[in-house]
Structures are given as C-alpha cells and as structure tokens.
C-alpha cells in the first residue's frame, strides 16, 4: 500500500516527461526554429570557440557540397521513387540539419537559399542536449532549448544565459548519438562510438573530447574565469594534418642482396597509432585507404608490386581491381542500362583497408540507406597492426644494382570514380598521403 503511494506519482511524472522529451525520430516537428539561438548570438562572447566551430565540418554538415549532392540527388530522389525510404531521407536531417528536423521542415531548402538549416550542428543544438535516449544511435539526443546552456563544467556564470553542468557532456554517447547510425534494414552503417567502446581507449578512459576537442589554457569568453578550455576544432578526415601520420608504417626486405633471377620478399607493417576508432571510420561506404608499393631500378624503370593475398573470406574486396560497382545509383538518378563505375579507381593489386557495403543485388553501394549487408571488415582498428607481404619475382629486364622500393599509404574521402561521376568538387576526391616509407636492396648478376 505504502509502496504504491510512492510509486504512482513517480510513474505519473515519468509518463509526463516521456511525452515532453522526444528523442530521435519522435522529435521531428516538435520544436520551432525560434526555440534555438543562432551561432552568431554566441560569437560576441565565445569568440575563439565560434571561429573554431565555423571552420569545422560541424558548421558545414548541411551546406557542404558533397552532402548536398548525396542528400538531394540521391537520398531525396530515391525516397520519392520508393516511399519506404522516406523516413530514412528525413532522418538525414536529424544529424545534418537538426534544427530543420526539429522544426519539421524536411526536406529543408537548398543551401543557397540561406535558411537556418545551414547552421548545421550548431552551438545551441549541442548545448541544449540534456541526455541521450536508450541507445546512442540515430540522433537519439534529447533537446531542451531555452535559457539554460548545458556543459561539462559546474558553477560557471554568464550574463547571457544560465549555465548548468550535465553528465552527458563528459560521455561519448553525446557524440555517438550522431556518430552511430542504423539504416532502415537494421544495418549499422556508422559506428564510430561503438568502435571506440570496443577498443583500448575506452578502457583507458580516453574519450572523443581528448582528441577532437583538445584543451588549452585560456578563457572561453572575455568575462570568463581562466582555465583549461575545450577547443572546438573537431578535426577529422577533412584535415590532411589530422590524417598524416595517424597510421605509422615501416617496411623491410627479408634479403639485402638478391640474384637477378631471385625473389624479393618485402613486408610492410601498418600501425593505427593515433585514432580512437578504426581507420577509416564514419562514412566507411565512401572512404578508401590503400597501400601502393612500387620499385625503381638503376635505369629508372618502375615496377608496381601487387600485394600477396592472405586467403580470408571476402578478400577480393580488399585488393584493388577493375571491377564495376555502385549500380544502385541508377535508381534515384533514373538511368537505364547503367553498368556502374569502377569500384576502386586505384592501381589494381593494391591492398585496400575497408569494409564493403552491399545493396540487395550483392553489389557494392555508397548509398548507406540502401545497404542490406556488410562485407569483410578489413580496416585498421585502434592500436592494431596489420602486416602486408609483397613477394616479388624479379622481372627479366631488371637492371643490376640498387633497387629502391617505395610504399605509400593513401587516403581518399570519396572513392574517385564516384566523385567524378557525380561531379563532386575535386577536394572530396583528393588523394591525401597519410604516410610513406622506402628501402633499398641490391640486385647482382
Ligand atoms: C554575453 C556573453 C555570452 C554570450 C552571448 C554567450 N555566453 Fe556562454 N558563457 C559566457 C560566460 C561568461 C560563461 C562562463 C565561462 C567561464 O567562466 O568559464 C559561459 C559559459 C558557457 C558554457 C559552459 C557551460 C558549462 O557549464 O560548462 C556554454 C556551454 C555556453 N556558455 C554556451 C553558450 C551558447 C550556446 C551561447 C549562444 C547561444 C552562449 N553561450 C552565449 C558568456 C556568454
Ligand atoms: C586517441 C585519439 C582519438 C580518439 C579517442 C577519438 N578519435 Fe576520432 N579521430 C582521431 C584521428 C587521429 C582521426 C583521423 C584519422 C581518420 O580520419 O580516421 C580521427 C577521425 C575521426 C573522424 C573522421 C572520420 C572520417 O572518415 O571522416 C570522426 C567523425 C571521429 N574521429 C569521431 C570520433 C568520435 C565520435 C570519438 C569518440 C567516440 C573519437 N573520434 C575518438 C583520433 C581520435
Ligand atoms: C558537437 C557538439 C558541440 C557543438 C556543436 C558545440 N559545442 Fe561547445 N562543448 C561541447 C562539449 C562536449 C563541451 C565540453 C568539452 C569538454 O569539457 O571536454 C563543450 C564546451 C563548451 C564551452 C565550455 C568551454 C570550456 O572548456 O570552458 C563553451 C563556452 C562552449 N562549449 C560554447 C560553444 C559555442 C559558442 C559553440 C558554437 C560556436 C559550441 N560550443 C558548439 C560540445 C559542442
Ligand atoms: C547533432 C549531431 C552530431 C553530434 C551530437 C556530434 N556530431 Fe560530429 N558530426 C556530425 C555530422 C553530421 C558531421 C559531418 C559533417 C559533414 O561532413 O557533413 C560531423 C563531423 C564530425 C567530425 C569531422 C569529420 C571529418 O570528416 O572531418 C568530427 C571530428 C566530429 N564530428 C566529432 C564529434 C565529436 C567528438 C562529438 C561529440 C563531442 C560529435 N562529433 C558530436 C554530427 C554530430
Ligand atoms: C545518425 C546521424 C546521421 C544520419 C541519420 C545521417 N548522417 Fe550523414 N553523416 C553523419 C556523420 C556523423 C558524418 C561524418 C562521418 C565521418 O566523418 O566519416 C556523416 C557524413 C556524411 C557524408 C560525408 C560527408 C563528407 O564530407 O565526406 C554524407 C554525404 C552524408 N553524411 C549524407 C547523409 C545522407 C544523405 C543521409 C540520409 C540518408 C545521412 N547522411 C544520414 C551522421 C549522420
């Protein structure tokens, strides 16, 4: 009797709160644009933080050229042809244009129309999050806009707003709510926070903030107390300086001197030294990381060395070939007899570190919402080392003398043939050299 008297009001309040605190899909159309302040309203005091955020991908999550192409030309068009995909296409905005999603304004106006969708993942989106609902996936954050701005620090004072400390600002679930994604077929098409959780950094309590919002001495506003301030830089794959050296490579040849009709055995070790998750992570369907090894003899003749296959299931997707893929782009683009575009666009025989996404025909896709299954996961995990071997039977025409072998580890945000086909600006298909190493050996007659 006594127990139920205490429990009933608690249940009542819980039901009431559950109705007000919408998260994920349910939050669509529950707010107005005017419930949220513009980033410019924060800029006058949080000067450096604003500038950092403005330069980061967070502020471009809706306006960025490739996002616009994929959302409007592929996702929205696909959902018009097949209404099954409508919730998924609306859901893009839950992470890329959260304000429009909350306001129920989907699809939002195109970026050139200058609507508030362009604010992307804004200050007020993050700093009005009070928690994450159940699983951290598919924009499952709870938004409570208003005078109170939530953060990681207790007891701060501001003339513009109330500040309050919230545990979620010290938890990776805040990031995971947008950096893990499950598509309409229940496939995890993004799992950065889950990869972190399984890896060594979670055990050591080294969270996303340490590497993506590093602390520096200073003040977050002119009237602030001096202390360690979280820098809102959010560097990732769009910053070559973040990519360079993230994977360390070393190479050796088992023999120093080889007869001209002999065999060179070259080994390359690749160590994910810097990322708290796999490389590549995030938009894995787009990203390509590959190891390209070439040798040059005394006469300047260049030879390309294909990697030795290891024989695991699905390995064919990790060795570059001339095969075609991405045929499902024909559906939204309304193309007939479309054979696809080259799957890799990198020298055949190179090792590719990736996880392929497959459509319902078992063909590789970059349309993550249309993914029915995932292939072999041959990415490099946090602090993992992979070893690749190149057994090279020296060619007949090789010149005796010094041979220089050069290994390059290259990264591309979007597989080049797709970038070219969809006319995505150059920058997205640019090759970033993450690392390189060389060695020499002698060939004798
Ligand atoms: C008039 C100046 C001013 C404006 C405008 C302003 N703030 Fe602040 N804000 C402050 C000051 C001062 C602090 C306290 C900083 C300190 O002492 O470290 C603060 C602290 C914060 C914190 C830290 C809270 C915590 O507990 O860790 C957040 C988050 C924040 N502001 C967000 C915002 C957002 C979002 C906006 C725009 C919608 C904004 N602020 C606009 C002055 C301002
Ligand atoms: C130990 C440092 C470290 C930690 C911890 C870490 N990261 Fe990273 N992150 C990196 C490095 C280095 C890169 C650049 C290499 C790359 O793009 O894969 C990166 C890249 C990224 C990218 C860009 C990926 C792409 O392909 O565009 C995202 C997004 C990201 N991290 C999110 C997170 C999130 C979310 C967490 C926490 C769950 C996290 N990171 C934890 C170091 C870290
Ligand atoms: C992706 C979510 C996200 C966005 C977007 C974001 N912040 Fe933050 N902000 C955080 C997190 C998380 C922390 C706490 C980090 C920590 O302490 O490690 C933080 C900390 C802060 C602090 C306290 C800094 C300190 O360490 O004293 C201020 C002030 C702040 N943010 C203002 C802003 C403003 C202004 C913007 C927009 C220009 C903005 N934030 C955009 C997530 C975000
Ligand atoms: C409201 C959703 C949302 C939240 C919360 C969020 N992110 Fe992001 N983040 C995005 C989106 C969307 C992008 C991709 C922008 C683009 O390229 O279109 C992104 C991009 C990034 C990038 C840049 C990747 C690159 O390729 O350069 C990093 C790094 C990153 N986020 C880290 C974090 C961290 C750390 C947190 C937690 C403090 C966090 N994010 C929280 C939505 C979010
Ligand atoms: C659960 C949150 C979430 C949802 C839903 C989501 N995205 Fe993303 N998207 C992200 C994050 C986070 C990144 C950045 C990942 C990274 O850096 O690799 C991203 C990256 C991208 C990129 C690559 C950006 C680049 O510059 O390389 C494109 C394009 C994109 N998303 C389009 C879409 C489309 C279209 C949809 C809907 C079908 C969608 N996204 C749904 C969170 C989401």
23-27, 239-243, 317-321, 389-393: range with lowest mean pLDDT: 23-27
Mean pLDDT of the chain, nearest integer = 95
Shared domain check, 161 and 78: yes
CB 441 within 8 A of CB 264: yes
* Residue 70 CA to ligand 4 centre (angstroms): 17
Shared domain check, 318 and 215: no
pLDDT at residue 19 is higher than 80: no
C-beta 96 within 6 A of ligand 5: yes
Shared domain check, 386 and 263: yes
Confidence (pLDDT) at 336:
95
C-beta 271 within 6 A of ligand 3: no
- Atom number of ligand 2 nearest to Cα 246: 12
Shared domain check, 373 and 254: yes
pLDDT at residue 15 is higher than 80: no
pTM over 0.85: yes
Taking residues 215-220, report their average pLDDT: 97
End-of-domain residue from the set 230, 251, 268: 230
pLDDT at residue 172 is higher than 70: yes
C-beta 47 within 6 A of ligand 3: no
**Looking at residue 406, which CATH number applies to its domain?**
2.60.40.3880
End-of-domain residue from the set 205, 230, 255: 230
List ligand 2's pocket residues with C-beta within 6 A: 172, 175-176, 179, 192-193, 196, 201, 206, 208, 210-212, 236-237, 242-243, 246, 274-277, 279-283, 287
pLDDT at residue 318 is higher than 60: yes
CA distances from 423 to 168, 363, 369, 419, 429 (A): 40, 22, 21, 6, 10
Residue-wise pLDDT tens digits, 300-311: 999 999 999 999
pLDDT at residue 14 is higher than 60: no
* Residue 162 CA to ligand 4 centre (angstroms): 25
pLDDT at residue 60 is higher than 70: yes
Confidence (pLDDT) at 398:
95
* Number of structural domains found in the chain: 2
Shared domain check, 46 and 28: yes
Q: What's the helix, strand, coil split of the chain in %, to 5?
A: 35, 25, 40
Closest-CA residue, ligand 2 atom 23, reads: 236
Residue 319 in any domain: the answer is yes
How many Cα neighbours within 13 Å face the side chain of 333? Answer: 15
Q: How confident is the model at residue 23 (pLDDT cuts 50, 70, 90)?
A: confident
pLDDT at residue 41 is higher than 90: yes
Closest-CA residue, ligand 1 atom 22, reads: 151
* Residue 283 CA to ligand 5 centre (angstroms): 6
pLDDT at residue 16 is higher than 60: no
Shared domain check, 159 and 51: yes
Domain hosting residue 178, numbered range: 20-230
Q: How far apart are CA 125 and CA 149, in angstroms?
A: 10
C-beta 181 within 6 A of ligand 5: yes
Closest-CA residue, ligand 3 atom 36, reads: 123
Residue 4 in any domain: the answer is no
Q: How far apart are CA 288 and CA 410, in angstroms?
A: 8
Ligand approaching nearest to the C-alpha of 238: 4
CB 65 within 8 A of CB 321: no
C-beta 221 within 6 A of ligand 1: yes
* Residue 280 CA to ligand 2 centre (angstroms): 9
Confidence (pLDDT) at 359:
98
CB 372 within 8 A of CB 187: yes
Closest-CA residue, ligand 2 atom 10, reads: 275
Shared domain check, 369 and 404: yes
* Residue 64 CA to ligand 4 centre (angstroms): 13
Residue 37 in any domain: the answer is yes
Residue 15 in any domain: the answer is no
C-beta 169 within 6 A of ligand 3: yes
* Residue 169 CA to ligand 3 centre (angstroms): 9
Q: How confident is the model at residue 445 (pLDDT cuts 50, 70, 90)?
A: confident
* Residue 156 CA to ligand 2 centre (angstroms): 29
Shared domain check, 259 and 112: no
C-beta 64 within 6 A of ligand 4: yes
Shared domain check, 385 and 265: yes
C-beta 141 within 6 A of ligand 3: no
Residue 7 in any domain: the answer is no
Overall size of the chain counted in residues: 445
Confidence (pLDDT) at 22:
85
Residue-wise pLDDT tens digits, 110-162: 999 999 999 999 999 999 999 999 899 999 999 999 999 999 999 999 999 99
pLDDT at residue 18 is higher than 50: no
Residue 39 in any domain: the answer is yes
Closest-CA residue, ligand 4 atom 36, reads: 175
Residue 12 in any domain: the answer is no
Taking residues 415-426, report their average pLDDT: 97
C-beta 283 within 6 A of ligand 5: yes
Pocket probe mutation, ligand 5, options 92, 243, 289, 357, max atoms within 8 Å of Cβ: 92
* Residue 152 CA to ligand 3 centre (angstroms): 8
* Residue 121 CA to ligand 4 centre (angstroms): 8
Reading phi first (left if > 0) and then psi (alpha if -120 to 50, else beta), residue 406 is in beta
* Residue 120 CA to ligand 5 centre (angstroms): 12
Shared domain check, 224 and 80: yes
C-beta 413 within 6 A of ligand 5: yes
* Residue 246 CA to ligand 1 centre (angstroms): 33
Residue 133 in any domain: the answer is yes
Shared domain check, 380 and 280: yes
End-of-domain residue from the set 230, 260, 295: 230
Q: How far apart are CA 89 and CA 79, in angstroms?
A: 7
Q: How confident is the model at residue 8 (pLDDT cuts 50, 70, 90)?
A: low
Residue-wise pLDDT tens digits, 70-110: 999 999 999 999 999 999 999 999 999 999 999 999 999 99
- Spell out the SS3 assignment of 289-348: EEEEEEEECCCCCEEEECCCCCCCCCHHHHECCCCEECHHHHHHHCCCCCCCEECCCCCC
Shared domain check, 125 and 61: yes
* Residue 120 CA to ligand 3 centre (angstroms): 15
């Amino acid at each position: 009797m006594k127990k139920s008297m205490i429990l009933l009001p608690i249940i009542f309040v819980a039901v009431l709160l559950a109705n007000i605190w919408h998260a994920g899909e349910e939050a669509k159309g529950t707010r107005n644009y005017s419930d949220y302040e513009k980033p410019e309203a924060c800029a006058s005091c949080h000067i450096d933080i604003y500038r950092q955020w403005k330069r980061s991908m967070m502020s471009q999550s809706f306006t960025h050229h490739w996002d616009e192409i994929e959302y409007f030309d592929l996702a929205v068009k696909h959902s018009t042809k097949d209404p099954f995909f409508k919730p998924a296409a609306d859901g893009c905005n839950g992470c890329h244009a959260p304000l429009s999603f909350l306001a129920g304004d989907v699809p939002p106006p195109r970026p050139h129309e200058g609507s508030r969708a362009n604010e992307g993942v804004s200050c007020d989106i993050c700093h009005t999050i009070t928690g994450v609902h159940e699983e951290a996936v598919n924009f499952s954050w709870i938004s409570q806009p208003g005078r109170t701005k939530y953060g990681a620090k207790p007891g701060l004072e501001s003339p513009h707003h109330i500040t309050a400390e919230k545990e979620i600002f010290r938890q990776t679930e805040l990031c995971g709510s947008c950096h893990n994604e499950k598509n309409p077929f229940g496939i995890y098409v993004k799992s950065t926070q889950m990869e972190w959780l399984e890896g060594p950094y979670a055990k050591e309590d080294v969270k996303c903030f340490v590497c993506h919002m590093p602390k520096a001495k200073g003040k977050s506003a002119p009237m602030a107390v001096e202390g360690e301030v979280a820098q809102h830089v959010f560097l990732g794959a769009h910053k070559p300086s973040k990519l360079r050296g993230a994977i360390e490579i070393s190479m050796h040849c088992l023999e120093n001197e080889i007869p001209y009709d002999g065999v060179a055995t070259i080994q390359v070790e690749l160590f994910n030294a810097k990322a708290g998750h796999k490389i590549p992570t995030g938009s894995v369907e787009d990203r390509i990381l590959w190891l390209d090894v070439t040798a040059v003899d005394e006469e300047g003749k260049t030879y390309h060395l294909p990697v030795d296959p290891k024989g695991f299931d699905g390995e064919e997707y990790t060795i570059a070939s001339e095969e075609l893929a991405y045929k499902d782009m024909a559906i939204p683009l309304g193309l007939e007899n479309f054979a696809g575009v080259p799957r890799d666009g990198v020298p055949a025989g190179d090792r590719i570190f990736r996880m392929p996404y497959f459509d319902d025909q078992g063909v590789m896709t970059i349309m993550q919402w249309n993914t029915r299954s995932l292939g072999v996961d041959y990415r490099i995990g946090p602090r993992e080392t992979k070893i690749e071997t190149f057994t090279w039977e020296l060619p007949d025409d090789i010149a005796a003398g010094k041979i220089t072998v050069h290994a390059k580890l290259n990264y591309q945000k979007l597989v080049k043939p797709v970038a070219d086909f969809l006319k995505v600006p150059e920058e997205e298909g640019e090759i970033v050299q993450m690392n390189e190493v060389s060695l020499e050996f002698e060939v004798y007659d």
